[in-house]
Amino acid sequence: MKPYTRADRVGGQIRQALSDLLLKNISDPRLEGVSISGVKVAADLKSARVYFITLGSKRSPEDTATGFNSALGYVKRSLAKRLGLRYMPDLKFFPDDSFEYGTHIEKILKSLKTENGSNNSTPEKQ
């Protein structure tokens, strides 16, 4: 079995091309400061889920998803030209909550560490 499927490779290419497109060609203010964190392409290459992060932005993820949906035609045309695929997958945009979840877990672990550190003092050597 191959270590990476064709869907994984196409997803990586879409992620790279879309990130480049956002950086250089799209001027929608709803998409400023947005990073593409991942792309999962279906095995049949017909659809792709694009995950984005809005770190440092005060815009809501729903507002950013609306911006992506309004630019969807332009994005698909530009990606099709860059990638040279026979069929361009349908793109659906979703906010990536994994970074916020990771930050939440880190806060919990730090609070547990401080609770355990203050209650459990190490005995001195005698």
Q: What is the pLDDT of residue 86?
A: 84
- In the chain, the number of structural domains is 1
Residue 125 lies in a domain: no
> Which residues touch 90 (CB under 8 Å, ≥6 apart)?
46, 47, 48
Check: CB of residue 50 under 8 Å from CB of residue 93: yes
Residue 50 lies in a domain: yes
Q: What CATH number is associated with residue 98? A: 3.30.300.20
pLDDT mean across residues, the chain: 84
Per-residue model confidence as pLDDT tens digits over 71-86: 899 999 999 999 888 8
The residue range of the domain holding 33 is 6-119
Residue 99 lies in a domain: yes
